[in-house]
Chain A
């Protein structure tokens, strides 16, 4: 009797294929569920209602603008703080720090990245908000600024980690060539190494944006959850309400299938689409074809 020979190679290939496709399928399923639960909201609430400025769902005010503004403000604020700090920390660890310092700093940053966000939110509520209120003479410390600061704290470890890896991967040949031509250390870093690591750094920033816009617990606890439209420059230090906090706070109370329920899923769709747009535009930029000169050198 002939024993059939199992080709382990093809088995493993099959397994990997299934894993890969399942990732696509899961995302597809989530998107399908969101659409099927959220799109019907458009049949019950006219689109013009969503573009209004008052969000008070228990009395059928479904204006999404304050929520969009809220998510936008805390994310942009977080990025303004996180990108420079994250980038320069990454440059320091990759290019400037001694190997011993690097050995301590890198794991420490990774540790910071693993910090549970709800604990950060709690600390923000008790300590940071009071400090900001006294220091900046604000009416209340529960504001977009507090939210942005904490979100930056969450985004920085991601940005540092991936940027640092990207900068490390830049071939030494680049740096040597630049220094040989007479450039200083800093000129080399800023004009040669960093542009060469552009795709990795951009990926890091995209990840940071993703974490910031999707963060729920922190913003639920420290932004005050007040659905306000922008009031000029003061918008940043006033309370705000993000889309994520809205879904988290209100999903529990909605009756299954009610208009409010569908609108919350609609907000989920909006969040999903925004994240999709950011990721797709980043990918098209990141995965561009390398210039011929770069291909030769690396």
Chain B
């Protein structure tokens, strides 16, 4: 969410030149940890706050308030030269847990599968673990296979996807560039197997299976300046920025 947070902060500061907003990245875990440590006013997170984090916050006297500020799709990306264009959620789960190891098993070329992932501090990572690897089952204990590359940023994932035909990766739709190939995803548990590409439309009408909410957390009810900023986030102008960056706005026009 760092792209989005930066764009919002920039736009807000242009309109309100006397304001001063500082945005730093580091993943959802980092942001929420900073909120708990009282070193930030607003935490951007691409996953819901965990119950342990809420408990930690309350121990520190902080009550996290949640706001859904945008929505996002997780795009599955492969190298442009990869012939595969469609995958089911179950296949994705098997790929990332290590059950499927060669593209041939999916109908592709005889190449080993190299799995790319974000680091464990990323909300995207946690979301992918819960919704794709474990298919939403809370009791499931499946983990990423140990040879999954845990890359420190979306840029590094992009660099590897572009140059390595064996690679498969995932990231928020806003980070996908035109030189990557996006794979259509189907939920095999539905009656009709329909492979959907991620877009604002398919996220909002619920057909794309891997979509999520993006959150902002504040300590307690926002007041004063923070309240103004958060109210501004829900204006059409701010939500246009959401669309510009490839995410999905919460205000449906």
Give me the interface of A with B, judged by CB distance under 8 Å: 54, 56-59, 61, 66, 125-126, 129-130, 133, 139-142, 220-221, 224-229, 238-239, 241, 249-250, 252-256, 258
Contact = CB atoms under 8 A, between A and B. Distances in A.
A221 B156 CA distance: 8
A252 B31 CA distance: 9
Contact of B146 (A130, A221, A226): A226
Interface string B139-156: 001011011111110001
Contact of A226 (B36, B112, B149, B159): B149
Candidate in A129, A139, A141, A254 with the most chain B CB atoms within 10 angstroms:
A139
B199 interface: no
Contacts of A66: 146
Given A225-B152, A253-B121, A140 B167 contact: yes
Nearest to B143: A56
Nearest to B121: A253
A29 to B, nearest CB: 23
Contact of A140 (B26, B120, B160): B160
Contacts of B166: 139-140
A65 to B, nearest CB: 11
A220 B152 contact: yes
B147 A142 contact: no
B202 interface: no
A224 B117 CA distance: 10
Nearest to A224: B149
B146 A225 contact: no
B33 A255 contact: yes
Nearest to B27: A253
A56 B126 CA distance: 12
Contact of A239 (B119, B120, B149): B149
Given A249-B152, A253-B29, 13 more contacts: A54-B146, A56-B143, A130-B163, A140-B114, A142-B151, A142-B160, A238-B147, A249-B121, A250-B120, A252-B26, A255-B36, A255-B37, A258-B56
Given A227-B146, A239-B149, A252 B27 contact: yes
Nearest to A256: B37
Contacts of A241: 150
B146 A254 contact: no
B82 interface: no
Nearest to A125: B159
A57 B159 CA distance: 26
A126 B166 CA distance: 16
A244 to B, nearest CB: 13
B149 A225 contact: yes
B177 interface: no
B43 to A, nearest CB: 12
A225 B119 contact: yes
B164 interface: yes
Contacts of A130: 163-164
A36 to B, nearest CB: 18
Nearest to A53: B146
B243 interface: no
Contacts of A224: 149-151
Nearest to A249: B119
A173 to B, nearest CB: 54
B147 A228 contact: yes
Complex A-B, nearest 7 residue pairs according to Cβ-Cβ distance, in ascending order: A253-B29, A253-B121, A224-B149, A139-B112, A252-B30, A225-B150, A252-B26
B10 interface: no
Contacts of B163: 129-130, 133
Contacts of A239: 147, 149
Nearest to A261: B33
Contacts of A221: 152, 156
B56 A253 contact: no
A254 B149 contact: no
Nearest to B34: A252
Contacts of A250: 119-121
Contacts of B111: 139
